[in-house]
Structure 1
Amino acid sequence: MDQRTDAPLDESRRLPAGLAYPHGEAIPAPNGAIEVAERILWLRLPLPMTLDHVNVYALDDGDGWTIVDTGFQTDKTKAIWADLMNGPLAAKPVRRVIASHHHPDHIGLAGWFQAEHGASLWTTRTAWLFARMLTLDHQERTSAPNLLHMKRAGADAARLEWARAREPMNFSRIVAPLPPGYRRLRDGERIEMGGRAWRVFTGDGHAPEQATFWSTDGEVVLSADQILPRISPNIGVFSTEPDADPLGEWLASCKKFQPYAREGHLALPGHNRPFTGLPKRLDQLIANHHGVIRRLRKFLHQPRTAIECYDTIYKRPIKDGEFGLAMVEAIAHLNHMMTTGEAERRLDANGAYRFVLKP
């Protein structure tokens, strides 16, 4: 199962209107940190993909650090963490790791921190179960259900053959084994970290039961991948649940967050840079996906496969490295239209689903 997090639906490489970066163009130096709020350090770890970094945050609990997200399990990332723990974090140990969601760039070294450093792991139940299941599900070649998922999306014979011959992205290679035992995070609960009280709000769509953290003093939001400043989080339908409507879940999550979002919030996202303008960004993200649906309404006057919808959805060429992400996100928009009753799908002679507006 390929569940990478770099998103092909990118409405702008510029900062959207109404948002600001309080720290300007600054980003943490390799093995370094930037204090973005009192007792909160911003760290950045490299990723070997188009989206080439993940943000992690260290919160000073007095007698130790709470780390929010961890990066991939790689020797390079472990070496960076060793430098960080001998550098900006040297004064005290990492006692707790919080994984916002189950994607490998966020939970990849959580088990390592547990096993090697004695840290406790806090995450949602769905995130822990998903990550633990996927680390145990190693596949040498792309599975039959994944190949069928691609075929249903309209992949041609050459792409199916390419996928059939390769090893998919296995969590077992980039996520450390997760020992039994974690502390469950629940939607709506209050926790303490970094000298602040925080409210946990979970969201869905990009990842099931993704945790975000809203300080009760109204100053800071750890928004993870649920709310990003420059790109829309990848929202995909995978072979494990091919009829899912994650776009509907994600839009509902954005609306859930709107009453709590304030202009003065400093949002600390999983990617890009910390920003302000959270209410505006939620509006923009919702509008971006509604715009895709409007374009599809005009395009689906004839039956189309998910792959045939790429130009309409993304308005730019999709490179080979983005193909899988584009595919699962295209299906998400089409499934949403089917769920809301706007479209229906038909299986064609080649075994692909073709979506068309209902008469």
Structure 2
Amino acid sequence: MALHFPHSHPPAAGEMTELAPGVYWLRMPLPFQLDHINLWLLRDGDGWVIVDTGFPEDHVRETWSAILDKLDGPVNKLIVTHFHPDHLGLATWLQEQTGAPLWMSSGEFLTAHVVWNEVGGHGARFMVEQFRQHGLDAEHLAKFEKRGSGYRKAVPALPDYYNRLLAGDSVCIDGRNWKILIGYGHAPEHVALYCVELGVLISGDMLLPRISTNISVFAATPEADALRWYLDSLDVMAQEIPAETLVLPSHGLPFTGVQERVGALHAHHEERLQALEASCEQAPKSAAELLETLFNRQLDTHQTMFAMGEAIAHLNYLEQDGRLLRHCDAEGVIRYTRTGH
């Protein structure tokens, strides 16, 4: 069964499209190849709740200002699904404009702060060493060293206070309960919101209709089985969410067909895992040497960062599944060979 897309035209900049009673869709531009993010406004009695913020660029602030001027009541809450810049980047600014308190999971709030401050295994110097261990060449490493993590530029300021969201919490918005679902793999404790009464899931980046979200292993957690965590999170979502639920993703169009999409993502990642296994059949390969196998296209510096993280995630999965063996050579470079299982 194919996915169904009941709303084929995204709202224009500064416009709001109602998708369910009191649930409004906004779209903002992004300065990447992935050129947009979907944001959500929820009616909350006489006021409003914002879900995710957009990327901190002047024209995005201008678009938000126009939208805020249209609202007929206060913003009661600002909910952020995870710490990535397109979701959290304008949180401090929006709080200044609206006075709304921030709601996030602890994993996302605290990760934002350690990434911003480049401590605790997060930041460019840790990433460069991680990529060196996984075979990336000196030219790319030098670019990453010069470039830095980029997070401070993409998130100009961070909130110092927040209200913590836990898995299983219910947030009451406009008299309806939105259940908090926590997903893993894409971010430490990614928040999704599910309203049974409305039949709506705000999935953030956990469940996208056309692309697989980036699944990376970070230097701070080098053995993380992030891909397995992600796929397991999707399975929980598929078990809990009815097929007719309208999924509101951060990128792409709203859709129905949770189970079909989760099945397709499992199949996609298994195909990539098998390709990596086959590539490690004849000779040991590093993550950097396997980028072409995984992606089969030219990657710029920004894309290479995500690609390396994703390659390591797939290789950790295969190693922990007993399908690859890890070796470390005299130069400290990690390579993998197929076990033959």
Deviation at 1:319, TM superposition (A): 4.1
Within a 5 Å distance, the mapping from 1:10-21 to structure 2 comes to 18-21=2-5
Partner Cα distance (2:145, 2:169) in 1: 44
Aligned to 1:48: 31
Instruction: Tell me what 2:322 maps to.
Output: 341
Structure 1 match to 2:216:
236
- Structure with the larger RCO, 1 or 2 (CA within 8 Å, 6+ apart): 1
Separation in 1, partners of 2:17, 2:110:
33
1:65 partner amino acid: W
144-153 vs 222-231, which deviates more?
Answer: 144-153
- Residue 149 of structure 1 aligns with an amino acid whose one-letter code is Q
Q: What's 1:247 paired with?
A: 227
The answer to whether the Cα contact below 8 Å between 2:49 and 2:78 also exists between their aligned partners in 1 is yes
Q: How far apart are residue 350 of structure 1 and its match? A: 4.1
How far did 1:143 drift? 3.7
The one-letter amino acid of 2:207's match is I
Contact 1:46-1:77 within 8 A present in 2 as well: yes
Counterpart AA for 1:42: W
- 1:136 is matched with 117
Structure 2 Cα separation of the partners of residues 300 and 60 of structure 1: 53
> Does 110-119 or 252-261 show the bigger shift?
110-119
Matches within 5 A, 1:1-359: 18-24=2-8, 26-87=9-70, 90-137=71-118, 143-170=124-151, 172-217=152-197, 219-301=199-281, 302-358=283-339
Alpha-carbon offset, residue 195 of structure 1: 4.4
Contact 1:203/1:211 (<8 A) preserved: yes
What do the CA deviations read for 1:251-286 (whole angstroms, capped 9, x no partner)? Answer: 111111121122211000011111111111111111
Q: 219-228 vs 333-342, which deviates more? A: 333-342
Residue 303 of structure 1 and its aligned partner are, at CA, apart by: 0.6
Q: Provide the rounded CA distance (Å) in 2 between the counterparts of 1:178 and 1:160.
A: 28
Separation in 1, partners of 2:300, 2:237? 33
Counterparts in 2 of 1:189 and 1:356: CA distance versus 1, 3 Å: same
Range 308-317 or range 37-46, more displaced: 308-317
Q: What is the TM-score with the length of structure 2 in the denominator?
A: 0.93
**Which residue in 2 is equivalent to 1:14?**
none
- The separation in 1 between residues aligned to 2:99 and 2:194, in whole angstroms, is 27
How much has 1:176 moved relative to structure 2? 4.5
Between the aligned partners of 2:297 and 2:155, the Cα distance in structure 1 is 32
Gaps of 5+ in 1: 1-16
1: distance between equivalents of 2:113 and 2:46?
29
User: What SS class does the counterpart of residue 53 from structure 2 fall into?
Assistant: coil
Could you say what the CA RMSD is over the residues aligned between the two structures, in angstroms?
1.8
Q: In 2, distance between residues paired with 1:112 and 1:218? A: 30
Q: Is the 8 A contact 1:115 1:179 kept in 2?
A: no
Contact 1:132/1:177 (8 A) holds in 2: no
The aligned length equals 336
Tell me the TM-score normalised to structure 1 length.
0.88
The superposition leaves residues 166-220 of structure 1 with CA deviations (integer Å, 9 ceiling, x where unpaired) of 33312x2222433332111110122212442221110100011111111122611
Percent sequence identity is: 36
User: Take 1:51 and 1:259, find their aligned partners in 2: how far apart are those partners?
Assistant: 29
CA deviation vs aligned residue, 1:218-248 (integer Å, no higher than 9, x gap): 6111111000001001000122222211111
What is the distance in 2 between the residues matched to 1:136 and 1:162?
20
Using the TM superposition, give the Cα deviation of residue 83 of structure 1 relative to its aligned residue in structure 2, in angstroms: 1.0
Instruction: State the secondary structure of the residue aligned to 2:147.
Output: coil
